[in-house]
């Protein structure tokens, strides 16, 4: 792969993960976290939509759905996966596994 192609592939990745199919993702950042997380640049070609409730939708193309699902899960619900369904189910699976692992015995 030529260096230009590598650069394009990496640009389309989430945090440098360049495997998987290129997919369009939409995440919603809650209004209270827009001042911090809303400033993040996930991709140079991301699109932003500010919603009436103060939350923000950020959309971009990525190859890193599994890593993105892990990151979203770690935000404690202030970032919500909206598209694609595979991202939403990935977040739900990780969150369920984490909750199950932390049940008192």
Query: How many structural domains comprise the chain?
Result: 1
Structural domain including 89 reads 3-101
Q: What is the pTM of this model?
A: 0.80
Q: Compute φ and ψ for 56, nearest 5 degrees.
A: -140, 135
What are the tens digits of pLDDT across the range 18-34? 667 889 999 999 999 99
Q: Where are the beta strands (DSSP E) in 1-105?
A: 23-29, 47-50, 56-62, 79-83
**In 3-state terms, what secondary structure has residue 41?**
coil
What are the tens digits of pLDDT across the range 52-82? 999 999 999 988 899 899 999 999 999 999 9
């Amino acid at each position: 792969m030529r260096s230009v192609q590598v650069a394009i592939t990496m640009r389309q990745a989430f945090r440098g993960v360049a495997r998987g199919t290129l997919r369009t993702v939409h995440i919603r950042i809650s209004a209270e976290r827009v001042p911090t997380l809303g400033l993040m640049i996930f991709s140079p070609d991301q699109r932003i939509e500010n919603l009436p409730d103060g939350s923000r939708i950020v959309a971009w193309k990525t190859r890193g759905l599994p890593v993105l699902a892990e990151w979203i899960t770690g935000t404690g619900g202030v970032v919500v996966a909206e598209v694609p369904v595979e991202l939403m189910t990935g977040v739900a699976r990780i969150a369920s596994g984490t909750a199950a692992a932390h049940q008192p015995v």
